[in-house]
Structure 1
Amino acid sequence: MSKLDEIKKPIENELESFEDKFKSSMKSSVPLLDRITHYIVKRKGKQIRPIFVFFSASLCGGITEATHRGAALVELLHTATLVHDDVVDASYERRGFFSVNALWKNKIAVLVGDYLLAKGLLLSIDNNDFQLLKIVSSAVKLMSEGELLQIEKARRLDISEEIYYEVIRQKTASLIASCCSCGAASAGADDIIVEKMRLFGEKIGMAFQIKDDLFDFGTDDVGKPLGIDIKEKKLTLPLIYALNKVSKTERQRIINLVKNHNEDKLKVEEVISFVKNNGGLAYAEMQMLRFQDEAFEVLNTFPDHPSKTALEQVVRFTTERNK
Structure 2
Amino acid sequence: MTLRTAPIRLADIHAPVRGRLDAVTDEIRRIVVSDFAPVDEVNHYLLKIRGKLFRPGLVLLCDQLGGGESRTAETLAAVIELVHLATLVHDDAVDHSVLRRGMPTVNAMWSHQVAIIMGDYLYSRSITEITRLGDIEPIRVIAAAANAMTVGEMRQLVSHDALSFSEADYNRLIDSKTASLMSAACELGALTGAPAHREALARYGTELGRAFQVADDLLDYTADPSVTGKPSGLDLREHKVTLPLIHALPRLSRAERAEVDALFRDPEPADDAIHALVEMIAAHGGLEYARERALESAQRAHDALEGLPAGPVLEALHDSVVYAVERRR
TM-score after normalising by structure 1: 0.93
Match of 1:133 in 2: 139
Query: How many pairs align?
Result: 319
Structure 2 CA distance, aligned partners of 1:303 and 1:257?
A: 54
Match of 2:68 in 1: 62
SS state at 2:111 partner: helix
**Correspondence 1:257 to 2:262:** yes
User: Residues 107-256 of structure 1 correspond to what in structure 2 (within 5 A)?
Assistant: 107-187=113-193, 189-190=195-196, 193-218=197-222, 219-223=224-228, 224-247=230-253, 249-250=254-255, 252-256=257-261
Structure 2 CA distance, aligned partners of 1:251 and 1:153?
A: 21
Structure 1 CA distance, aligned partners of 2:78 and 2:129?
A: 9
SS state at 2:320 partner: helix
| Residue 232 to residue 60, structure 1, CA distance change in 2 (3 Å) | farther
Cα-to-partner distance string for 1:230-252 (whole Å, 9 max, x where unaligned): 011111111111112234x2463
1:321 aligned residue (299, 306, 327): 327
How far 1:89 moved relative to its partner? 1.2
User: Which deviates more, 198-207 or 212-221?
Assistant: 212-221
**Correspondence 1:99 to 2:79:** no
1:297 aligned residue (289, 300, 303): 303
How far 1:61 moved relative to its partner? 5.0
User: Residues 18-97 of structure 1 correspond to what in structure 2 (within 5 A)?
Assistant: 18-97=24-103
Structure 2 CA distance, aligned partners of 1:23 and 1:123?
A: 12
Question: Quick one: which amino acid aligns to residue 247 of structure 2?
Answer: Y
Larger relative CO (CA 8 A, sep 6+): 1 or 2?
Answer: 2
Contact 2:161/2:241 (CA < 8 Å) preserved in 1?
no
| Residue 251 to residue 294, structure 1, CA distance change in 2 (3 Å) | farther
Structure 2 CA distance, aligned partners of 1:312 and 1:188?
A: 17
**Identity of aligned pairs, percent?**
33
Cα-to-partner distance string for 1:178-230 (whole Å, 9 max, x where unaligned): 1111110122614xx32221110110111111111111221433313111110
Structure 2 CA distance, aligned partners of 1:229 and 1:274?
A: 15
Q: Structure 1 unaligned runs (5+)? A: none
| Residue 220 to residue 61, structure 1, CA distance change in 2 (3 Å) | same
Structure 2 CA distance, aligned partners of 1:279 and 1:50?
A: 35
TM-score after normalising by structure 2: 0.92
| Residue 57 to residue 250, structure 1, CA distance change in 2 (3 Å) | farther
Contact 1:77/1:116 (CA < 8 Å) preserved in 2?
yes
Cα-to-partner distance string for 1:130-188 (whole Å, 9 max, x where unaligned): 21121112111111111211222324321111211111111111111111111101226
RMSD between superposed Cα atoms in Å: 1.7
